[in-house]
Structure 1
Amino acid sequence: MAGHSKWANIKRQKAVVDAKRGNVFTKLSRAIIVAARSGIPDPAGNFQLRTAIDKAKAAGIPNDNIDRAIAKGAGTFSDGNSLEEIRYEGYGPGGVAVLIEALTDNRNRTAADVRVAFSKNGGNLGETGCVSWMFSQKGVCIVEDVMDEEKLLEASLEADADSYEMTDDEVAEVFTEFTNLENLSQTLKAKGFHVTDIELRWIPGNQIEVTDPDQAKSVFKLIDTLENLDDVQNVTANFDISESLMELSL
């Protein structure tokens, strides 16, 4: 999982820079809508909503926009657009499996955009279920300033985490069942750890090793193209690329 975790870490760093772009505001606002719709529209009792709001505030989204997104999810405000969640699946260069989560008010437009992204970047959009069986959804806590790995292990075990992985100097990702994510986050914080991000992530059960530089560039270009689509919320792929090749390809 090391290569994939390294890529996830790079994506988070990239997201900080990209937060100035309008489509990132759109994605974060839509995440709030989904969270408010799937649970109670009160962040105090809805962990997913609370997390989405925290990310929106960190990106500088105004409170009025956040409140409006919550109201949309709760059904107390409407702008005439009805959003639905759709998952797309396909294959990228070299047979890499790609899973896309989208939120759209026009599924025909989104499907066309996703199909074009695949076809222009050496991939193919597949049928529902063609790759999703390779992934399982996990909760992930990103912890920074980890000075004592043994203490992290003890805290993770206490919180019923599945595993953890050091992805960078003093940065760790701790994995758990998605239903246990709030408990994991609270336990790590109570133990004094600096939890900087909380997310749900699709984890591949098997990985495709990419060793060709041109193929690696094509994979990254496909993922970037998909992530830049306004309706796409998240993109996951099952590639494994060495850090040296990753640095050359980005």
Structure 2
Amino acid sequence: MSGHSKWNNIKRKKGAADAKRGAVFTKIGREIQVAVKMGGPDPDVNSQLKDVIAKAKSNNMPNDTIQRSIQKAAGAGANENYESVTYEGYGPAGVAVLVECLTDNRNRTAGEVRHSFDKHGGNLGTNGCVSFMFKRQGSILLAADDTDEESLMLEILECGGEDLQAQKDEDDELVGYCVTTAADNYYAVKTALEAAGHKILESQLERVPDNYISVKDPEQVKKLENLIDALEENDDVQAVYHNWDEEE
């Protein structure tokens, strides 16, 4: 993400989420429902649903659970109506925070999000107070293959991608490559990479900050961690974005 290799942070969060798998499946189930209602139950013609299914599989959601969620969303009995809501504010040390939610009750969600900010040293702000600091960006994680990095970079640029970063595990072993794209080119680049035979492990449209803030004070760091964890544990919250440089 924007000069930093943020996939490690994504993996860290996913690891924490795996410990609460039921909550993760609930969140993904909501995403499936919204995607189906917007574009239909066929992932071959519904790119948004295709992305959510890939996300579900990367979080070890069983195939039969995925299919039940799709069938439920497409059926006449699917009477839950979730809407997308984004909350903005500041965490400790002036860190900008964006919270993307899917909710069937705005009042409940707003109250819970506000409570998390207040409890952990932050302030919930008004719409637009921090969103201008972030841009939409596509992020595509490719499995490592026999293609060398230089050739892959040329291929990425030719199909409209912007950047390529090697992703390594804790033992410094290559596990894949993170491709970044402009939001408008995301699906075109993803389709081109799939057509070229590359295996996509995970992909998403995300919000990326223009600049990152370094936080050194241990007390502030702890408050930030607690705020982000509290928000991510909320069933209505789908994603939390911030400009705290966690790699410092």
SS in structure 2 opposite 1:209?
A: coil
Q: CA–CA distance in 1 between the matches of 2:196 and 2:63?
A: 31
SS in structure 1 opposite 2:181?
A: strand
**Could you report, residue by residue, the CA deviation over 1:164-187 in whole angstroms, capped at 9, with x for unpaired residues?**
233434343211122322332233
Identity %: 46
Q: CA–CA distance in 1 between the matches of 2:152 and 2:3?
A: 21
Q: Which moved more, 1:228-237 or 1:209-218?
A: 209-218
Asked if residue 185 in structure 1 is aligned to residue 190 in structure 2, the reply is yes
Where does residue 52 of structure 1 map in the other structure?
Answer: 52
**Could you report, residue by residue, the CA deviation over 1:54-78 in whole angstroms, capped at 9, with x for unpaired residues?**
2223434344543443345446332
Where does residue 31 of structure 1 map in the other structure?
Answer: 31
Q: CA–CA distance in 2 between the matches of 1:219 and 1:51?
A: 29
Give the counterpart letter for 1:232 in structure 2: V
Where does residue 242 of structure 2 map in the other structure?
Answer: 237
Give the counterpart letter for 1:237 in structure 2: H
Q: Is the 8 A contact 2:54 2:202 kept in 1?
A: no
Question: Normalising by the residue count of structure 1, what TM-score does the alignment of the two structures yield?
Answer: 0.85
Q: Is the 8 A contact 1:87 1:99 kept in 2?
A: yes
Where does residue 119 of structure 2 map in the other structure?
Answer: 120
Q: Displacement, 1:39? A: 2.1
Q: Is the 8 A contact 1:85 1:103 kept in 2?
A: yes
Q: Displacement, 1:161? A: 0.8
Give the counterpart letter for 1:12 in structure 2: K
Where does residue 69 of structure 1 map in the other structure?
Answer: 69
Where does residue 176 of structure 1 map in the other structure?
Answer: 181
Q: Which moved more, 1:29-38 or 1:179-188?
A: 179-188
| Structure with the higher fraction of residues in helix conformation | 1
Q: CA–CA distance in 1 between the matches of 2:189 and 2:222?
A: 36
- Length, aligned pairs only: 241
Q: Is the 8 A contact 1:98 1:237 kept in 2?
A: yes
Q: Displacement, 1:192? A: 4.9
Give the counterpart letter for 2:21 in structure 1: R
Where does residue 215 of structure 2 map in the other structure?
Answer: 210
**Could you report, residue by residue, the CA deviation over 1:113-145 in whole angstroms, capped at 9, with x for unpaired residues?**
101111111101101111111111111101242
**Could you report, residue by residue, the CA deviation over 1:175-221 in whole angstroms, capped at 9, with x for unpaired residues?**
11223223322333444544211111101112222222332222222
Q: CA–CA distance in 2 between the matches of 1:199 and 1:227?
A: 17
Where does residue 248 of structure 1 map in the other structure?
Answer: none
Q: Is the 8 A contact 1:155 1:187 kept in 2?
A: no
- Flag the 1:3–1:167 CA change in 2: closer, same or farther, 3 A: farther
Please give the residue correspondences for 1:106-117 in structure 2 after superposition, counting only pairs within 5 Å.
106-117=105-116
Where does residue 98 of structure 1 map in the other structure?
Answer: 97
Where in structure 2 are there 5+ consecutive unaligned residues?
none
Q: Which moved more, 1:171-180 or 1:195-204?
A: 171-180
Give the counterpart letter for 1:207 in structure 2: Y
Q: Which moved more, 1:114-123 or 1:57-66?
A: 57-66
Q: CA–CA distance in 1 between the matches of 2:62 and 2:130?
A: 37
**Could you report, residue by residue, the CA deviation over 1:76-123 in whole angstroms, capped at 9, with x for unpaired residues?**
332x43211110000001111000100111111111110111111110
- Flag the 1:88–1:17 CA change in 2: closer, same or farther, 3 A: closer
